[in-house]
Chains A and B, each alone.
Chain A
Amino acid sequence: MHRRSFLFIFLAFTLQLLQSAPVQAQPLESKAIYQMHEENVFQIRVLNRETGKKSSIGSGFIVGDGRQVATNFHVISQIVSEPERFYISYLSKNGRSGELKLLGLDIAHDLALLGSELALGQANETSALPPKGSPVFAMGNPHDLGLTIAVGTNGGILNQTDDSRILFSGSLNPGMSGGPTFNDKGEVVGINVATSSNAISFIVPSVYLNRLVERVNKAPLNANQNLKAEVTQQLIAYENGYLKGILDQDWPKIQLRQLSVPGAISPTIRCWDNSRKLPDKALYKRYQINCANQNQVYLDSQNKFVGSLNYHYFWLESDELNSLQFYNLYQKLNESKIGGRASQEVVSNFNCKTWFVDVSQQTFKTSLCRREYVEYEGLSDILFTAALTGHDNKGFFVRLTMTGIDYDSSLPLIQKFMETIEWTP
């Protein structure tokens, strides 16, 4: 009897403890998250006014006051390029559709906020990013095949993208851009934006979406606004901030034979040895290092990405070639090109000028080339090259390229770049 009473009391006490413990939300599974959000995640379509047919598709979801829809800028960028030809529409899972207006843009983070005249449904709540390794769920309309959900984990915010991207281990596909990424509570932690191979995808942190919603609530874009000017202004503001951040910090250096040169001058930049294998019988040695940033910005379907900052070092030396042979080789290799297949509708021709500049007691034959964007006044592509002269059997050149940047803002960077180069006798 005594033993039974003790058991009863223990069970009652345990039950009481369980009942009095604080209530915690249970992690949701992908099925539950899908069911929870299937009505407020849309397909976003850019339609041709003449034909009524889709020109591009992506995904979007309800935010803010329930009349706002978030998506990626690159999904709806045709509206900026040709507003008179296209319009934006949403399509819900149950077939509901309607026109959306552009309310705001965040070019640097590839976000757009759209608005409907009618209430669209329950706005999604946003939340901070869960810890690294936590499950996250991306929803969207891949390849126009219907709404789906992709499961993956949070790989953390990538500093090489200027904190503008989260690494996602799930598989995003074209058409899912602009869709929401949820944590296991069904809160939006990011916006699907890009994919790479082997289930490596990227998400924009929701903090930038919140800022955009806040900005739009204060000052939305008006119908007659020059969208290209707005895009240019935002891009220049972002790039100038980015360059200022680079200029304000000390630059690490790389020793390349007798020269000390700038290394990875920003967390967004990665440098790689790119020295190619030389033929066995080569009478010279050459070393190459390439450095490039990862935080490029989508501009439009013609230009694709701008905001690249690449620099390439090239060292050449030989004890066996005479100076005539050496300079024939040096000149042959001294060829710098700027990437991209730009057409005359997109950019102007380059204008180049050459100087002989003293850098660390050495003479560099230095060239600077500039071209501008036809439809984005104030944006330029820049090519800077400097080739070491005056040595019989040693050569070095650097090529620095920047795309979609304010020309005047790039010059301090070029100046610091040159001042950082040091010759070691």
Chain B
Amino acid sequence: MDSLVLEICTQGLHRYHVINQPRTRVGRAFDNDIILSEPTVAPYHLDIIRHDDGNIELHNLADINPARFNGVPDTSITLDTLPINIKLGRVMARIVQPDQPVAETKTLAGNGRSKQLFSHAAWGVLLIMLCLIVSSIDFYTHTFSSYKWTTMAKFVARETALYLAGLIFFLATLERLIFNRWEVKPLVVVISLTYLIFQLISPLIGELNYIFTSQLPELIFEITWYAILIPFIASLYLIHINHQRPNKGILFAMLLCSPLIILSTIEVTQALGYLDNFSASAGYHRDLSALNWQNADNISISSFIEQAKTLSPGKISD
């Protein structure tokens, strides 16, 4: 009589018990063969009986939260093919053959080439340093009074170092709670890279706004960044570094990023006038540029007045 394997999954954790006795009892009571410490499991919940001919008999023993076999409630079931899914209260379990094929081995986060980027501590340190340098440049270009270097250091520490540390801590904790993993080094790399890309692209978007005398580049960037790129990066991280299944990785990424997706979508649709929102302020185009590249031609005062005559008032809100 070959042995079987009972796979028990609780809160994302998988445990495996080899069943080689003719009869195995599962439940919360301490005299069970397999003890499940879960409040929704009955003291004696399931009996697994193995026959010499290879058949397996499963008996539900619970009055409360009775066991379901392949999704069907039944008091007992006899079967000769495996695997079979069993639900015991809130616990998902599965009986499989010992020779059941297992998923391919995932490479460690950062094995091979990717290790150079995602898993090496030096990259993390370097990228954090780059973030701090970019933050210092941002401080320099947005400070219009003379200052001491300590002021800049305080700004960089407060605005960037603390922000990045807080974000890394939050996401690492979330990852630990949801997926039971600590992936701090790859997380540092991904977050620093994302921060750097954002800091480098933002000024270019301002220039595009000026060139086209339109808020459209900014709006496109906002919706692309928050509603597409950030969830995309989160999905890649969950699939390739956290080794979640693609559909699960995408789902979690979307859930995690849903506040960003919702807020950016509302903001952009509002700015494009698709929502019937009232604003007492005049949303005119106020970007200015040191490069002064403009797509629109200059016009004379009289042409401006002629064109201004066609300006209609804004929409009346319902």
Residues on A facing B (Cβ under 8 Å): 279, 281-284, 318, 321, 323-331, 334-338, 340-344, 347-359, 363, 365-372, 374, 380, 383, 385, 387, 389-390, 392, 395, 407-408, 411-412, 414-415, 418-419
Residues of B within 8 A of A337 (CB): 281-282
Q: Within 8 Å of chain A (Cβ to Cβ): is B100?
A: no
20 pairs of residues in contact across A and B, judged by CB atoms under 8 Å: A325-B142, A327-B289, A334-B286, A335-B286, A336-B282, A343-B280, A348-B313, A349-B278, A355-B299, A355-B304, A358-B300, A366-B304, A367-B284, A367-B286, A389-B292, A392-B290, A411-B308, A411-B309, A415-B302, A419-B301
B280–A348 contact, CB under 8 A?
A: no
Known: A370-B314, A371-B314. Is A356-B281 also a contact (CB below 8 A)? no
Contacts of A338 in B (CB 8 A): 280-282
Known: A326-B290, A337-B282. 9 other contacts (CB 8 A): A281-B147, A349-B314, A352-B283, A356-B294, A358-B299, A367-B286, A372-B313, A411-B309, A414-B305
Residues in chain B near residue A414, CB distance under 8 A? 305, 308
Does B145 lie within 8 Å of A282, measured CB to CB?
Answer: yes
Q: Are B302 and A356 in contact (CB under 8 A)?
A: no
Q: Cβ of B307 < 8 Å from any Cβ of A?
A: yes
Q: How many Å lie between the Cα of A334 and that of B286 in the bound state? A: 7
Judge if B213 is at the interface, Cβ distance under 8 Å: yes
In the bound assembly, the distance between CA atoms of A318 and B144 in angstroms comes to 10
Residues of A within 8 A of B140 (CB): 325
Contact at A282–B313, with CB atoms within 8 Å? Answer: no
Task: Enumerate B262-318 residues with CB–CB distance to A below 8 Å.
Answer: 278-290, 292, 294, 296-302, 304-305, 307-309, 311-317
User: What's the nearest-Cβ distance from chain B to residue A363, in Å?
Assistant: 6
Using Cβ atoms and an 8 Å threshold, which residues of chain A touch B304? Answer: 355, 357, 366, 418
- Beyond A324-B290, A330-B288, A390-B292, is A348–B298 a contact (Cβ under 8 Å)? no
Within 8 A of A (CB), among B215-229: none
Name the CB-closest residue of A to B138.
A328
A354→B285 contact, CB < 8 A: yes
Q: Which residues of B contact A321 (CB under 8 A)?
A: 144
Complex interface: chain A residues within 8 A of B311 (CB):
351, 353, 368, 370, 407
Contact A352 B284 (CB under 8 A): yes
CA distance A324 to B285 in the complex (A): 19
Q: How far is the CB of B138 from chain A (nearest CB, A)?
A: 10
Contact (Cβ within 8 A) A355 B281: no
Give B contacts to A, CB under 8 Å.
Answer: 140-147, 213, 278-290, 292, 294, 296-302, 304-305, 307-309, 311-317
Q: Are B144 and A282 neighbours in the complex by a CB distance under 8 Å? A: yes
In Å, the complex CA distance between A358 and B309 comes to: 18
Complex interface: chain A residues within 8 A of B317 (CB): 344, 348-349
- Docked Cα-Cα span, A372 to B315, in Å, equals 9
The minimal Cβ–Cβ distance linking A401 to chain B, given in whole angstroms, is 9
State whether A351 touches B308 (Cβ < 8 A): no
What's the nearest-Cβ distance from chain A to residue B271, in Å? Answer: 12
Question: Do A324 and B314 have beta carbons less than 8 Å apart?
Answer: no
Is there an interface contact between A354 and B213, defined as CB atoms closer than 8 Å?
Answer: yes
Cα–Cα, bound, A372→B313 (Å): 6
Is B298 within 8 A of A357, CB to CB?
Answer: yes
Does A383 contact B213, Cβ atoms closer than 8 Å? no
A350 adjacent to B292 (CB under 8 Å): no
> Cα distance A412–B287 when bound, in Å?
27
Residue pair B301, A357 in contact (C-beta under 8 Å): yes
B312 touches A370 (CB 8 A): yes
Selected from B278, B281, B300, B313, the residue in CB contact (under 8 A) with A357 is: B300
- Taking the closest CB of chain A, its distance from the CB of B309, in whole angstroms, is 7
CA distance A17 to B284 in the complex (A): 79
Q: Do A368 and B298 touch (CB < 8 A)?
A: no
Least distance between A388 CB and chain B CB atoms (Å): 9
Looking across the interface, which residue of chain A has its beta carbon closest to that of B302?
A415
Decide yes or no: A284 and B144 within 8 Å by CB, A359-B301, A370-B312 being known contacts: yes
Compute how far the CA of A351 lies from the CA of B289 in the bound complex, rounded to whole angstroms: 23
Contact call B281/A350, Cβ cutoff below 8 A: yes
Of chain A, the residue at the smallest CB distance from B278 is A344
Indicate the member of A325, A337, A353, A367 with the most B CB atoms within 10 Å. Answer: A353
Q: A342-B280, A350-B281 are in contact. Are A374 and B316 (CB under 8 A)?
A: yes
Known contacts A349-B278, A368-B311, A370-B314; decide if A354 and B301 are in contact (CB<8 Å).
Answer: no
Q: A355-B307, A356-B298, A414-B308 are in contact. Are A370 and B313 (CB under 8 A)?
A: yes
Question: Once the chains bind, are B299 and A357 in contact (CB under 8 Å)?
Answer: yes
What is the CB-to-nearest-CB distance from A201 to chain B, in angstroms, rounded to a whole number?
Answer: 31
Are B145's CB and A349's CB within 8 A?
Answer: no
A245 to B278, CA, bound (A): 35
Q: Give the 5 A-B residue pairs with the shortest CB-CB distance, closest first.
A: A349-B314, A344-B278, A367-B284, A372-B313, A369-B282
Q: Which residues of A contact B298 (CB under 8 A)?
A: 356-358, 363
A-chain residues with CB within 8 Å of residue B297 when the two chains form the complex: 356
CA distance A340 to B307 in the complex (A): 28
| Cα A392 to Cα B317 with chains together (Å) | 42
Contacting pair A327 B290 (CB below 8 A): yes
**Contact between chains at A331 and B288 (CB < 8 Å):** yes
Whether the Cβ atoms of A368 and B308 lie closer than 8 Å is: yes
Instruction: Report the bound CA distance from A209 to B72 in whole Å.
Output: 92
Cα–Cα, bound, A39→B310 (Å): 56
**Considering only CB atoms, which chain A residue lies closest to B287 in the complex?**
A331
Q: How far is the CB of A221 from chain B (nearest CB, A)?
A: 28
| Option from A327, A369, A372 in Cβ contact (under 8 Å) with B284 | A369
Point out the residues of chain B lying under 8 angstroms from A328, CB to CB. 141-142, 144
Alpha-carbon distance between A343 and B277 when the two chains are bound, in angstroms = 11
Contact (Cβ within 8 A) B301 A408: no
List B contacts of A283 (CB < 8 A).
Answer: 144-146
Residues of B within 8 A of A365 (CB): 213, 285, 288
User: Which residues on the A side are within 8 Å of B288 (C-beta)?
Assistant: 327, 330-331, 334, 365, 387, 389, 395
* Also in contact, A352 and B285, with CB within 8 A (given A281-B145, A408-B309): yes
Q: Within the assembled complex, what's the spacing in Å between the Cα atoms of A352 and B312?
A: 9
CA distance in complex: A358, B213 (Å): 16
Q: Which residue of A lies closest to B294 (CB)?
A: A356
Q: How far is the CB of A328 from chain B (nearest CB, A)?
A: 5
Q: Judging by beta carbons under 8 Å apart, are B300 and A383 in contact? A: no
A306 CB, min distance to chain B CBs, angstroms: 15
Chain A residues with Cβ below 8 Å from B279 are: 349-350
Rounded to whole Å, the gap between the CB of B315 and the closest CB of chain A is 5
